[in-house]
Amino acid sequence: MSDVPDFEPQEHELRYVALADHVVARIDAGELVPGARLPPERELAVEYGVAYLTVRRAMAELRDRGRIKTVHGKGTFVAPPVEPE
């Protein structure tokens, strides 16, 4: 059983930001561990009930935050935690 609440974005939230925040919550809760491969974007779109482009934008947001890494031809993975300076 997960400690992460279900994905239910509020009306005032941008869906891609809400999706990125939900994935971060799953990472922080240990549901997705560093090095874990994320499902393909199209599968995530079905899982979350959002458009494929919403997932693509959320993945770009997560890359910008340093929470995931995408390796061409291999997939997208949870990034290792960033050490504070």
**CB–CB of 59/18 below 8 Å?**
no
Give phi and psi for 39, each to the nearest 5.
Answer: -65, 160
Find out if CATH 1.10.10.10 is the number for domain 15-78. yes
Place of tokens 């939230």: 13
Q: Taking every pair of C-alpha atoms in the chain, what is the biggest distance, in angstroms?
A: 38
pLDDT in tens, 26-72: 999 999 999 999 999 999 999 999 999 999 999 999 999 999 999 99
Domain residue limits, the chain: 15-78
The per-residue pLDDT for 84 is 66
Of 79, 81, 77, 80, the closest CA to residue 37 belongs to 77
The per-residue pLDDT for 1 is 45
Q: Is the predicted pLDDT of residue 85 greater than 90, yes or no? A: no
The per-residue pLDDT for 28 is 93
Return the SS3 of 34.
coil
